[in-house]
Chain A
């Protein structure tokens, strides 16, 4: 290529127990869309965080236009025209769009002038074709709008390299198309876009050039014209990826009914309205929808963590409205929450203590008031073995385990007592391909054993591959239902964005 805009050479970065980048060379050309492809944990985000000035590399060089440069902090990176949109947006909810865009030392005017500043932000936004309301507070904005603010932050600072870390995870298919259009326009301007992703089809659609990372190293460089998704998948994971055919299933009788359930959310708004669905034994029902449209409230209403303001939840025909989470667990409802380390597991506790989080209080784990650690240990050992949880020993604090092993422990614990219903929220979030495949395997095994599963996921691909039926939530309402085998991404995407069924 011509003189690259930015070049990374020999970048090494280690964290306790893991080498995130093991010597990476990467060049970024001006005016290109470069895809950084790899599974979760491959080191893509780490590498870009180094370029953005947030991490310091252990060794290696960064060259800007051929000249070596040092990045001590994000301030240096911004000064050199690097901008990054993180996977979890770095926006201040309580501030306005203007305040978020102006934050920092770029154009450091001492006094804040709300009206003039807002006008300036509006003008720059218009120049780049990004629709924003400068006076709006971030907490009022949708996910797509927040992402636009993040991109505006970079363009406001005339960024030459814009890094987007997994930007499509939270978007509907239609919004993804809009994002890609914006990305192409930015690249036409002569700026570079680095698109971090683990989604093959998107990368094939948008990238000019693809770099594949695996376990902290570059394992391949190509262009969409010269490769296929299958080749990319194999590079990403390091071995042949078999796509398991979906095992056939015949669902049994209805075991869970949600009838007219409405739930008030944390902000006092109506988060779920008049929800109606049925789960049958031996089937997997997927819940699709952009995060924040009522999925969490639905899951918690079923698990007993959030009493509905209206409506009924019935298990095997019995109204369980009066039962709390502990009783629902005993009645056969298992729940894998979204926040695996903060809610489903206690990070500071060891494997043994975590294995009995649900049943520590009753026989056989407890005898009267006394907690029998030996029995808890036996249960933990069982889970570890059956679900192949890799831990140094049973006394290791769970936060030291990898995400995949934490999830195995969590799934194992929740399904140990053969539940009737399993509610799983984002069970494969942040997991690498092998762990994801394992979890999907567990879900299918459970389904074959007659468990009714409600699977909430932000990945349409996962839902279409794993679930039998997909129900779409939009703004707290169920707006449509499709058989997974017959559904298309565009169709579901339209529902997710609020289009009619």
Chain B
């Protein structure tokens, strides 16, 4: 009897989350913290009040966007590890407009920063895309290196020409003009949520209902068959990476325009890396990305909150990575076990026949 694959996937993930938390508890206990208290406070910090829920949603927005971007790239077999850099450069683009042209009216400023966020991220992703499409250079290292370059670029600007004169050489820029603040939907949750959900719907339709989506899936699953069928691989690499980067860039725009209203060092607590975990745990399905993004945002939020009690915020990153590791381990373990079971079933049938 076969379990519905969907149900099995969910079961694996739930089990992995539990296993991850248990492992995390071991580390917490070993370093002298009370795990159950820590987890309780994390949950409180993530969902315990309206404010907490808002904060979780706010952190979920960039995770959704970067997660979608990474999902698209991975579906085509492109290892885009550069979502962090693409997010940052998107933020740079948006900040440039906000800081250089502060007197623009909101009607021009807002679409402008959205566009620049998209463009910045797309541009940063196109560099490794071009290298891959035309020189055949593997994108894992190139996207990674560009992450570090992007982060240093932000440092350069916020310590330099964009530095806030009132900040006494702290690494952040002047505050954006109100025209460049993203409107909020409820509480502090900004417009980025709508953009993220729209992007999710768009990506879902793209991947499962369009012939372009069929093409992307084929290139990602079997490049040899894609070549055989005459699919335009080079063009797809460029377009897919550009969109992937643009989505992350949008996330960066959302952070600087919707949350902190300035640009600063450390504007992203590693959203671009968490996005990789989110995409994988969500099995590269857009709507699942939304759910997993909220969960991981909750972890991040909880992590920030319990710093007060002396537990390092890094517990959140550990838990995220552990969840992915357990998901990977269980999926492949199940695959081996299933094979063994199939062999046993066939053997039993043989024994039953003359």
A and B associate in one complex: yes
Chain A 351-377 near chain B by CB (<8 Å), digits 1 or 0: 001001110110001100111000000
Give every chain B residue within 8 A of A325 (Cβ-Cβ): 227-230
Give every chain A residue within 8 A of B211 (Cβ-Cβ): 360-361, 365-366, 369-371
A16 at the interface (CB under 8 A from B): yes
Inter-chain contact A371/B214, CB cutoff 8 Å: yes
In terms of DSSP, what is the predominant structure of the interface of chain B?
Answer: helix
| Interface residues in B310-354 (C-beta closer than 8 Å to A) | 339, 342-343, 346-347, 349-350
Chain A 11-23 near chain B by CB (<8 Å), digits 1 or 0: 0101111110010
A58 at the interface (CB under 8 A from B): yes
Given A346-B218, A353-B214, A366-B211, decide whether A14 and B225 contact each other with a Cβ distance below 8 A: no
B169 at the interface (CB under 8 A from A): no
Inter-chain contact B222/A344, CB cutoff 8 Å: no
By beta carbon, the residue of chain A nearest B342 is A16
The one of A19, A324, A344, A349 in contact with B347, judged by C-beta atoms closer than 8 angstroms, is A19
A: number of interface residues (CB 8 Å): 38
Interface centre among A327, A345, A369, by most chain B C-beta atoms within 10 angstroms, is: A369
Interface size class of B (residues with CB under 8 A): 20 to 34
Given A337-B228, A360-B214, decide whether A371 and B350 contact each other with a Cβ distance below 8 A: no
Give every chain B residue within 8 A of A324 (Cβ-Cβ): 230
A195 at the interface (CB under 8 A from B): no
Given A369-B212, A371-B210, A371-B214, decide whether A339 and B224 contact each other with a Cβ distance below 8 A: yes
The one of B229, B339, B347, B350 in contact with A358, judged by C-beta atoms closer than 8 angstroms, is B229
B215 at the interface (CB under 8 A from A): yes
Given A18-B346, A346-B222, A348-B221, decide whether A305 and B228 contact each other with a Cβ distance below 8 A: yes
A347 at the interface (CB under 8 A from B): yes
* Distance in angstroms between the alpha carbons of A260 and B218 in the assembled complex: 34
* Distance in angstroms between the alpha carbons of A324 and B342 in the assembled complex: 43
The one of B221, B230, B347, B349 in contact with A304, judged by C-beta atoms closer than 8 angstroms, is B230
By beta carbon, the residue of chain A nearest B213 is A371
* Distance in angstroms between the alpha carbons of A346 and B213 in the assembled complex: 15
Give every chain A residue within 8 A of B215 (Cβ-Cβ): 360-361
* Distance in angstroms between the alpha carbons of A349 and B228 in the assembled complex: 15
By beta carbon, the residue of chain B nearest A22 is B350
**B229 nearest CB across to chain A (Å):** 5
Inter-chain contact A16/B343, CB cutoff 8 Å: yes
Give every chain B residue within 8 A of A337 (Cβ-Cβ): 228
Give every chain B residue within 8 A of A201 (Cβ-Cβ): none
Give every chain A residue within 8 A of B222 (Cβ-Cβ): 342-343, 346-348
Give every chain B residue within 8 A of A360 (Cβ-Cβ): 211, 214-215
Chain B 45-85 near chain A by CB (<8 Å), digits 1 or 0: 00000000000000000000000000000000000000000
By beta carbon, the residue of chain B nearest A300 is B228
**B300 nearest CB across to chain A (Å):** 33
By beta carbon, the residue of chain A nearest B224 is A343
**B91 nearest CB across to chain A (Å):** 32
**A12 nearest CB across to chain B (Å):** 7
* Distance in angstroms between the alpha carbons of A431 and B213 in the assembled complex: 33
**A430 nearest CB across to chain B (Å):** 18
Inter-chain contact A346/B221, CB cutoff 8 Å: yes
Give every chain A residue within 8 A of B349 (Cβ-Cβ): 19
By beta carbon, the residue of chain A nearest B339 is A16
By beta carbon, the residue of chain A nearest B222 is A346
Chain B 275-312 near chain A by CB (<8 Å), digits 1 or 0: 00000000000000000000000000000000000000
Give every chain B residue within 8 A of A347 (Cβ-Cβ): 222
| Interface residues in B192-224 (C-beta closer than 8 Å to A) | 209-215, 217-218, 221-222, 224
The one of B209, B212, B221, B339 in contact with A349, judged by C-beta atoms closer than 8 angstroms, is B221
Give every chain A residue within 8 A of B350 (Cβ-Cβ): 12, 14, 19, 22
* Distance in angstroms between the alpha carbons of A347 and B225 in the assembled complex: 10
The one of A14, A348, A353, A356 in contact with B346, judged by C-beta atoms closer than 8 angstroms, is A14
Give every chain B residue within 8 A of A12 (Cβ-Cβ): 347, 350
* Distance in angstroms between the alpha carbons of A49 and B213 in the assembled complex: 42
Interface centre among B211, B222, B343, by most chain A C-beta atoms within 10 angstroms, is: B211
Inter-chain contact A15/B343, CB cutoff 8 Å: yes
Give every chain A residue within 8 A of B225 (Cβ-Cβ): 342-346, 357
A72 at the interface (CB under 8 A from B): no
Inter-chain contact A17/B227, CB cutoff 8 Å: no
Give every chain A residue within 8 A of B347 (Cβ-Cβ): 12, 14, 19, 58
Beyond the given pairs A16-B343, A360-B215, 20 more chain A to chain B contacts, judged by CB atoms under 8 angstroms and listed by A's residue number, are A14-B347, A14-B350, A16-B346, A17-B346, A19-B350, A325-B230, A327-B230, A343-B228, A344-B225, A344-B228, A346-B218, A346-B222, A347-B222, A348-B221, A349-B218, A358-B229, A360-B214, A361-B215, A371-B210, A371-B213
Which residue numbers of A lie inside 8 Å of B, CB to CB? 12, 14-19, 22, 58, 304-305, 324-327, 329, 335, 337, 339, 342-349, 353, 356-358, 360-361, 365-366, 369-371
Would you give 23 A-B contacts (Cβ < 8 Å), ordered by A? A14-B343, A14-B347, A16-B339, A16-B342, A16-B343, A18-B346, A19-B347, A19-B349, A305-B228, A324-B230, A327-B230, A342-B225, A343-B222, A343-B228, A344-B228, A346-B222, A357-B228, A360-B214, A360-B215, A361-B215, A366-B211, A371-B210, A371-B213
Q: Which 8 A/B pairs are nearest by Cβ-Cβ distance?
A: A326-B230, A16-B342, A325-B230, A366-B211, A371-B211, A14-B347, A343-B224, A346-B222
Which residue numbers of B lie inside 8 Å of A, CB to CB? 209-215, 217-218, 221-222, 224-225, 227-231, 339, 342-343, 346-347, 349-350
